[in-house]
Structure 1
């Protein structure tokens, strides 16, 4: 008995005819091909990153009983709270109540999965600095639901960070001038740019955990949680703010352990008093100050703070 070709029973939708002797690509199939072609570089990274594959697999186990977008957002918030509460007692009660509110939505096995995911994320960041949460967000295809929100590929962030950070001599001059380097990130996303900057500083032979301070802002609370988690795991001294960098309105702040242990509130105040310190437009808040006020317009023109903000008001890294 002669086997019947599969195509004879189920014609593949790769072509369709428009008139005699004319065949064209099926729009649906062609669109799918373009989609995977556009993401080919990402999927190559995905296939070569076993940690990322494990994280995605664990998140996928929650898909059948919960909305995956909500699960990812809740996981990020729970982990951020877990990292913040032992060190930020000012916001402890409010954040602990929020953590318990989220935990009540899930059963014990799901919360155990949350713990496993945290372990995989920690090990991924231990392997090397990387934007593991941004990659997870894309691998789960959650960016399709997030109003067109896409995170910059980490390889692009690495290129930009090395260009902006400059040479080893440039970094040394910046450190000798004020005792540390200051990074301002007005649209942090998952924090990939800062992670790449920390990696570039480390490659230049400097300890970013002692010589770099970051103030990062994003209008999306989930993005702030993602950035805060990655900064905390890399022990980057940072304040991460929920707010609008353009309108200069900020209403929530997250301090990393490295920021608190390093005494950075005092360091920044001292540097600002000596005319070397923090940019005035994003003054780091001390714990307990829930309302972050923008600086007065004349402060931007001050010579003593010009390294953080250009005369035009444009933020820059150093």
Structure 2
């Protein structure tokens, strides 16, 4: 049975001009919501300009202004449901209207299943959080962000704020589901970065920081500072070893060693 907020959202979809399908309207809603949320959170002026232009382009797809005016009402329904936790709101809406593409491996996972998997994967996060202040999570196939939401709920049940104690790197290949994931992860108050790209080829087409990212950075700085420092030191050590090898090859030692071996 659909969540009451999902049912209300679906009724709102049915009030739009019938020249577009519910799936088309929903995807435009998700792009507009993504543009509005990502623009507010973006620290980059050029990205904010691109998001504003994309938003206006979506508005231009609706010839009837009443349809555009319905968008904030639908956004309010989504935000209230997602922010409260305990639901994969956008994922459930997408499943209800058939907006997921099974050919791309897109299937709706009920929230209860995602929550069970999150509880099993997370375990007791207290020790790690007390040691370094936060945990990091990588989601290479985020979909609409349902697993990330469930993980945030599981972490919150242990007494930790997802904006302060978790950093998520979520990647999704499909542009439309990338929008869905960003809406949900950002609205739920989770710190991190959502990426439209391929986890296999590592191509990145678009990315955006969530609204909680500045809160996290203010408390902890770069979540990957230790890894970056270790990588820098490893690269410096490798370059130093190469320099020693080049110096050795330029010296007379190899020729002298060769002479000694020939004499023996």
| Cα distance in structure 2, aligned partners of 1:269 and 1:219 | 23
Tell me what 1:154 maps to.
Answer: 111
Report the TM-score when normalising by structure 1: 0.67
Give the total of aligned pairs. 230
1:65 is aligned to 2:19 = yes
1:50 and 2:7 aligned: no
User: Which residue does 1:226 correspond to in 2?
Assistant: 180
Task: Tell me the distance in 1 between the aligned counterparts of 2:203 and 2:83.
Answer: 34
Q: Radius of gyration: which is bigger?
A: 2
Q: Which runs of 4+ in 1 moved over 4 A?
A: 144-148
Contact 1:129 1:234 (C-alpha < 8 Å) held by counterparts? no
Q: Which blocks of at least 5 consecutive residues in structure 2 are unaligned?
A: 236-264
CA distance in 2 between partners of 1:196 and 1:233 (Å): 14
Residue aligning to 1:238? 192
CA deviations on 1:220-260 (whole Å, 9 max, x unpaired) are 11111111111111110010001110112112111111112
Q: How does 1:261-276 map to 2 (within 5 A)?
A: 261-263=215-217, 266-273=221-228
Q: 1:215 to 1:81 in 2, by over 3 A?
A: same
Shift of 1:127: 3.6
1:237 and 1:182 map into 2 onto residues whose CA distance is 10
Moved more, 135-144 or 49-58: 135-144
Query: Match of 2:79, SS?
Result: helix
Say what the alpha-carbon RMSD is for the aligned residues.
2.3
Q: Which residue of 2 aligns with 1:103?
A: 59
Question: Aligned partners of 2:41 and 2:105: how far apart in 1?
Answer: 35
Is residue 2:125 matched to residue 1:182? no
- Alignment check: 8 A CA contact 1:76 1:225 kept: yes
Q: Structure 1, unaligned stretches of length 5 or more?
A: 1-43, 281-297, 300-318
**Equivalents in 1 of 2:96, 2:59: separation in Å?**
25
Do the aligned partners of residues 146 and 112 (structure 1) sit closer, same or farther apart at CA in structure 2, a change above 3 Å counting? farther
Contact 2:192–2:210 (Cα < 8 Å) also in 1: yes
Alpha-carbon separation, structure 2, partners of 1:226 and 1:90: 22
Higher relative contact order (CA 8 A, sep 6+): 2
Cα distance in 1 for residues equivalent to 2:226 and 2:69: 44
Match of residue 255 from structure 2: none
TM-score (norm: length of structure 2): 0.80
Q: Are 2:39 and 1:82 equivalent residues in the alignment?
A: no
**Which of these residues, 87, 91, 94, is aligned with residue 137 of structure 1?**
94
CA distance in 2, matches of 1:156, 1:134: 13
Give the structure with the higher percent helix: 2
Match of 2:262 in 1: none
SS of equivalent residue, structure 2 residue 221 = helix
Secondary structure in 1 matching 2:61: coil
- CA shift in 2, pair 1:147/1:262, >3 Å: closer
Residue in 2 that maps onto 1:308: none
Deviations 1:87-123 (A, max 9, x none): 3134011111111111011121111111111011112
**C-alpha distance after superposition, 1:113-165 (max 9, x if no partner):** 11111011112124433110000001112236875621222111101000000
